[in-house]
Amino acid sequence: MPQDCIFCRIAAGEIQADLVHEDEQCVAFRDINPQAPTHILIIPRKHIEGIAKAETEHQALLGHLMLVVGKVARTEGIEDSGYRTVINWGRDSGMEVPHLHLHVLGGRAMSWPPG
Catalytic residues: 101
Stretch that binds Zn ion, among 5-13, 17-25, 58-66, 85-93 (CB under 5 A): 5-13
Site string for Zn ion, 70-109 (x = CB under 5 A): -----------------------------x----------
How buried is residue 31: exposed, middle or buried, by Cβ count under 10 Å (0-12/13-18/19+)?
middle
Interface residue with ligand AMP among 96, 109, 111, 113 (CB under 6 A) is 96
Q: Is 79 in the site for ligand AMP (CB under 6 A)?
A: no
- Residue 106, strand partner residues: 38, 83
Which positions from 13 through 72 interact with ligand AMP, judged by CB under 6 A?
Answer: 17, 29, 31-33, 41
Q: Which does 96 bind (CB under 5 to 8 A by kind): Zn ion, ligand AMP, none?
A: ligand AMP
Sign of the CA dihedral running 70, 37, 28, 113: positive
CB 2 within 8 A of CB 96: no
Give the span between the Cα atoms of 40 and 76, in whole angstroms: 9
Q: Give the CA distances from residue 37 to residues 31, 34, 72, 113, in Å, rounded to whole numbers and listed in that order.
A: 10, 7, 14, 20
Q: Is 43 in the site for Zn ion (CB under 5 A)?
A: no
Q: Which does 5 bind (CB under 5 to 8 A by kind): Zn ion, ligand AMP, none?
A: Zn ion
